[in-house]
Structure 1
Amino acid sequence: MFFNDILVKKHLKIKETPNYIYIAPHPLLRKYIAHYTILFPNPKETAKCSDNINDLTLIPDCSGCIIYTYENNDFSLRLWGSTTKTVIVKNDVNFKKIRFFIEFVPGGLHAITGIKQSELCDIQTEVDEVDKYLFCALIHAIENSNDIDDMVSRADMIFLKAVEKNNKQHAVIDSVLKRIKCSNGILQVKELALDEYISERHLNRLFNEYIGINPKMFSRLVRVNHSINIFKKFDYKNCSNIAQVLNYFDQSHFIHDFEQICGVSPNSFFRNMSDFYNEPFKY
């Protein structure tokens, strides 16, 4: 089983810390899967752990993921649909658990499963409740993998076959997603629909099918996630500067969006950044 060996080929690593490794998927999957992540205890910290585990707030990114968790010689396989609300989890990274994440990009889970994403939005469930074939394939992969490289290769093959089988790509969604991300979420839905020669109503229907939410809400998530990445990278301390960079009408509009999505004000977030997590490679 791959948990016995956490070595990863250097050319597949995107980022590595004492607790996790981000791993690149097959090149043909990179429009659907942001990365695989192996999360494991740091032996130097495990002995220091107590029962008093801090909370970690996950920032919504409307992407979805599949999570293997290995603990006490057993494992579970769960699916998270696209998230639009903050989720609070226990920050138990240095306890005796190992997790393998399959982190999708927005729309990626639809390409893999073919399921209308609004039905999975903000849902956490077992994979076999959503796609029994995918569940069986992933279980077989985990039971027969020799190491992480082998597991990643097997997962790549499973998802390549699923994408080919479902054939659920859509040119309009691909185009609009790219434009929203490139503009960091500042484009109006009316403008996006007009440039694709479709109605706003039809664009909303497509987004609910492929992404799970409407394009206006998705754009807000992109803007807020981008603001967090800016703060992390450039150490901004002034909300008015961020509001200008993200083309908000004023600082109060930015603060309102931030609070609606993250559940706290920007100032509170940046005072306690270690208590929050947002995906660094999706926005």
Structure 2
Amino acid sequence: MPFQTYSPPPPLSSFIAYFWSYTGKNPPHSRRLTLPDGSIDLVIDLYDRKTRIHNRYDSEMTLASSVISGPHTDYYITDSSSERSMIGVHIKPGCAGPLLKLPSIALKDTHVSLDDLWGIVATDLRDELLYSNTVEDRFRILEKYFLLRSDWSRPSHSAVEFAIASFQQSHHPESIANMVEQVNMSAKRFIQIFKDEVGLTPKRFSRLMRFQKAVRLIRKSNNIDWADLAMSCEYYDQSHFIKEFQSFSGLTPTEYRAIESLHPNHIPLTN
């Protein structure tokens, strides 16, 4: 199988959504659009291919083969024309502290070469992955690495965990004002803690979760009433929904729906 995933058991399951692996020939598309979802991703290219990333203004960044992508408030585009063998870790929002030993705010809207963060450890990890025999072995290597090297003395703040869970609810998440009241702290203190651990303000994260709900509904619906979809995602109206969708993706909802993709947040582009 060209694309495989593995969900680790506790305690890693509280912090890591899944490990993934891709192996295949050059894809038919030359670029890939990545939509923001508040998470952090570690991507290791086992062919030692340089990573080229563009933002919405077409500014290019070239990084080493192993990259950490922080929580983004905007989409970005990656050169995918020569991808052959890659492995990665999809880290849940707000969980960088124990796993990467730094706050998510340090990675906001940026990509960092893993070598710059971990030094020789990043090289050793990549070599161990490269010379393993199977995808399952590679998943076990990553699992062992994070189990041994994570800082379990840095748990997420309970207020942040509560807020993330609320924002990710499918129906009527708590307003920020109600949330501040329930966690029994000042708005300023809550926003600062949330930004440090998640990398985004509560308001921005809430908007992202609403956008992600729309993405999921578009992908699983055969016949879409756009006005109904906008209302179900708690947008003011259809115009507000389209504007927000374009802001986060660079595409209109209808343009997004017309593009086939294996993953709702990774969209192939041909030009």
TM range (shorter): 0.7 to 0.9
- Secondary structure of the residue that 1:38 maps to in structure 2? strand
**Which structure 2 residue ranges, 5 or more long, are not aligned?**
51-63, 267-271
CA spacing shift, 1:108–1:236, aligned 2, 3 Å: farther
1:214 aligns with 2:201: yes
Select the residue among 17, 26, 29 that pairs with 2:12: 29
Given that 1:127 and 1:134 are in contact with CA atoms closer than 8 Å, whether structure 2 keeps it comes out as no
1:87 aligns with 2:86: no
Please give the alpha-carbon distance, in whole angstroms, between the structure 1 residues aligned to 2:251 and 2:83: 31
Once the two structures are superposed, residues 225-272 of structure 1 have per-residue CA deviations (whole angstroms, 9 ceiling, x without a partner) of 111111111234222111111122222222222121112221222233
Given that 1:184 and 1:219 are in contact with CA atoms closer than 8 Å, whether structure 2 keeps it comes out as no
Map 1:134-149 onto structure 2 (within 5 A). 135=122, 138-139=125-126, 141-142=128-129, 145-149=132-136
* RMSD between aligned residues: 2.7
CA spacing shift, 1:259–1:186, aligned 2, 3 Å: farther
Please give the alpha-carbon distance, in whole angstroms, between the structure 2 residues aligned to 1:275 and 1:141: 28
Given that 1:114 and 1:166 are in contact with CA atoms closer than 8 Å, whether structure 2 keeps it comes out as no
Select the residue among 143, 149, 159 that pairs with 1:172: 159
CA deviation after TM superposition for structure 1 residue 133, in Å: 7.2
CA deviation after TM superposition for structure 1 residue 71, in Å: 1.9
**Segment of structure 1 superposing worse, 190-199 or 64-73:** 64-73
Greater helix fraction, Structure 1 or Structure 2: 1
**Which structure 1 residue ranges, 5 or more long, are not aligned?**
1-17
Given that 2:215 and 2:264 are in contact with CA atoms closer than 8 Å, whether structure 1 keeps it comes out as no
Map 1:8-19 onto structure 2 (within 5 A). 18-19=1-2
Once the two structures are superposed, residues 1-35 of structure 1 have per-residue CA deviations (whole angstroms, 9 ceiling, x without a partner) of xxxxxxxxxxxxxxxxx531122123321121111
**Segment of structure 1 superposing worse, 182-191 or 30-39:** 182-191
How high is the TM-score relative to the length of structure 1? 0.79
Q: Which residue of 1 aligns with 2:106?
A: 119
Counterpart residue identity of residue 70, structure 2 = G
1:77 aligns with 2:60: no
Counterpart residue identity of residue 239, structure 1 = W
How high is the TM-score relative to the length of structure 2? 0.82
CA spacing shift, 1:256–1:143, aligned 2, 3 Å: closer
Counterpart residue identity of residue 159, structure 1 = F
Given that 2:40 and 2:71 are in contact with CA atoms closer than 8 Å, whether structure 1 keeps it comes out as yes
Q: Which residue of 2 aligns with 1:9?
A: none
CA spacing shift, 1:57–1:120, aligned 2, 3 Å: same
**Segment of structure 1 superposing worse, 111-120 or 136-145:** 136-145
Counterpart residue identity of residue 38, structure 2 = C
Please give the alpha-carbon distance, in whole angstroms, between the structure 2 residues aligned to 1:278 and 1:166: 32
What percentage of aligned pairs have identical amino acids? 19
Q: Which residue of 2 aligns with 1:233?
A: 220
Please give the alpha-carbon distance, in whole angstroms, between the structure 1 residues aligned to 2:237 and 2:173: 13
CA deviation after TM superposition for structure 1 residue 206, in Å: 1.1
Counterpart residue identity of residue 54, structure 1 = S
Please give the alpha-carbon distance, in whole angstroms, between the structure 1 residues aligned to 2:77 and 2:264: 10
CA spacing shift, 1:278–1:72, aligned 2, 3 Å: closer
Once the two structures are superposed, residues 65-90 of structure 1 have per-residue CA deviations (whole angstroms, 9 ceiling, x without a partner) of 11110227999322111122111123
Select the residue among 230, 237, 243 that pairs with 1:243: 230
Counterpart residue identity of residue 33, structure 2 = T
Q: Which residue of 2 aligns with 1:197?
A: 184
Given that 2:219 and 2:264 are in contact with CA atoms closer than 8 Å, whether structure 1 keeps it comes out as no
Q: Which residue of 2 aligns with 1:161?
A: 148
Given that 1:62 and 1:218 are in contact with CA atoms closer than 8 Å, whether structure 2 keeps it comes out as yes
Please give the alpha-carbon distance, in whole angstroms, between the structure 1 residues aligned to 2:30 and 2:135: 29
Please give the alpha-carbon distance, in whole angstroms, between the structure 2 residues aligned to 1:154 and 1:276: 25
CA deviation after TM superposition for structure 1 residue 106, in Å: 0.6
Please give the alpha-carbon distance, in whole angstroms, between the structure 2 residues aligned to 1:241 and 1:138: 48
Q: For this pair of structures, how many residues does the alignment match?
A: 253
